Amino acid sequence: MDGEWWPQVGAPVAGGDIPPVAHLDWYIPKLGQGYSHDLSQSGLMMDWDWEKLLEGQVGQLDKWWSLGKGDPSELVAELEGVSPDRVVCCAGATQAVQLALMAALESRGKGSRGGSDERDGDNGSDGRMTRVAVEMPSYSPVTQSARLLGLETVPFHRHPDEERPSASPWHLDRDPLSDILPTVGALIITPVLNPCGWSLTDEDHAWLVAATAEHGVMLIADEVYDHALRPEGLYKPFFAEGEHCISVSSLTKCHAMGNLRFGWLVASKAVAQAAQRAFRTTSALLSSPVITMVAAAWPHLDRALERITMLRQVNLPLLQTVLEKHEIDWAPPPAGLFGAFELPGEMSAFEVVETLGKKHDLLAVPGCMFDESLDRWLRVAWSIPADKFTAAMVALDALLSDLR
């Protein structure tokens, strides 16, 4: 791959032209190597007691639909405070992004999905409906999905503060994005940015809603990390901002149920209807065992958010102490389970993980997996139990000492 680990943007792709998801090609084998100190997990690590939660239901795992026990979209609708006909459930957040793209770029000329109806040129011929703005840094499956659907992607960026890059919110680069918006039909953003963990500022949030509405651009927000903002009173989903906005989420990151592959999108009724048709076409039905397990855990979702709060209180001070010892100017984002900082020295973060990480039996994620410019950034997470995190801080301290 010639070192191109970051998400690839550009023209539509198919067959042998499909770019690798280099992050996962590298990361999944790493997990199998069983590192003693794992700071790589961007989602909550918590054991759900499925034996207890599913007591008396194990024999029903494959019978959810036939028993008529309901629709999981009703659970999501209640959680988000919307009507069920605005919700589409699916197999994870990445599929939800793909469904959103299929639905958002369809029949835009009818004026039924928000934004201005007065657009320059014909949507079918001016190319806008085949172009999507994608955020950098980003997670490859989100950024690259549009290309598999026959769409061209063009990047826009969020940047850290130049004076304190590892200790402040990241901001939209508005001027280049303003030039891009008239040329695209949709935009994809991850409000809680991977790998830095900082959420989109209120000012950028408001500006983006207004700018996309002005240009008739559908805004797709991958909010898979945003439920961690709820305990801090900072949760502000995009679906509430207008009919041109779509929110995507899942139980993967903030609720420690990644293996279930359960996600959803919330959109206007028109977009949700189109997305539901796309889901029926590509997947037909959700997995009955997954639905049963999700329904069993749903009344207890607050347990996961409470654990996130606890881990921040216990683990974050340990990380801050280690980074201060090595004179790394870093501040944690106000919510969530991971952050990133620029490493001292000249080695790339990838080299550090591959050499010193192996030496100290420590796994973290190099920033180059998310953007070319983050070559010397390292993403670490405080999502593991306190005793394991304490031991990992000893290893991180030794690794950083080797860099000096």
Angle, alpha carbons 380-23-369 (nearest 5°): 60
- Over 70: is that where the pLDDT of 16 sits? yes
The DSSP output letter for 156 is E
Q: Which of 113-127, 137-151, 334-348 has the lowest mean pLDDT?
A: 113-127
Per-residue pLDDT band for 102 (boundaries 50, 70, 90) equals very high
Percent of the chain with pLDDT over 90: 85
Please state the rounded mean pLDDT for residues 385-400. Answer: 98
Buried residues in 371-404 as b, exposed as e (16+ CB within 10 A): beebbbbbbbbbbbeeeebeebbebbbebbeeee
Rounded distance, CA 275 to CA 287, Å?
18
- CATH superfamily name and code, 15-47+302-403: Aspartate Aminotransferase, domain 1 (3.90.1150.10)
Question: How confident is the model over 103-131, as a mean pLDDT?
Answer: 57
How is 48-73 classified by DSSP, letter by letter? --HHHHTTTTGGGTT-HHHHT---HH
d(CA 316, CA 101): 37
| Fold held by 60-300 | Aspartate Aminotransferase; domain 2 (3.40.640)
Report which of residues 32 and 108 the model is more confident about. Answer: 32
Long-range contacts formed by 358-361: CB under 8 A, 24+ apart: 359/399, 359/402, 360/37, 360/395, 360/396, 360/398, 360/399, 360/402, 361/35, 361/36, 361/37, 361/395
The pLDDT assigned to 61 comes to 75
Average pLDDT along the chain = 92
- DSSP notation for 84-112: GGGEEEESSHHHHHHHHHHHHTSSGGG--
H/E segment holding residue 355 = none
The CA–CA distances, whole Å, from 393 to 154, 317, 321, 334, 360 equal: 39, 11, 9, 21, 11
| pTM tops 0.85, yes or no | yes
What are the residue boundaries of the structural domains of the chain, listed by start? 15-47+302-403, 60-300
> Is pLDDT above 50 for 135?
yes
Q: Is the predicted pLDDT of residue 117 greater than 80, yes or no?
A: no
Beta bridge partners of 172: 158
CA dist 175 to 109, 178, 208, 372, Å? 27, 5, 12, 21
Note whether 382 and 337 are within 8 A (CB). yes
Q: At 64, is the pLDDT very low, low, confident or very high (cuts 50, 70, 90)? A: low
pLDDT surpassing 80 at residue 165: yes
pLDDT at 404: 82
8 Å CB contact between 166 and 342: yes
pLDDT of 285 higher than 80 = yes
Q: Is 70 exceeded by the pLDDT of residue 139? A: yes
Mean local confidence (pLDDT), 315-328: 98
- Mean pLDDT over 377-382 rounds to 98
Lowest mean pLDDT among 108-112, 261-265, 364-368: 108-112
Mean pLDDT of 61-72: 63
Residue 278 has pLDDT above 80, yes or no: yes
Q: Which has the closest alpha carbon to 371: 93, 222, 159?
A: 159
Residue 67's pLDDT band, with cuts at 50, 70 and 90, is very low
Q: Check if the beta carbon of residue 212 is closer than 8 Å to that of residue 357.
A: no
Please name the residues in contact with 369: beta carbons below 8 A apart, sequence gap of 6 or more: 5, 6, 22, 23, 26, 27, 140, 195
Residue 70 is predicted with a pLDDT of 63
CA–CA separation, 12 and 144 (whole Å): 9
For residue 139, CA distances in Å to 108, 131, 255 come to 27, 19, 19
pLDDT of residue 109: 45
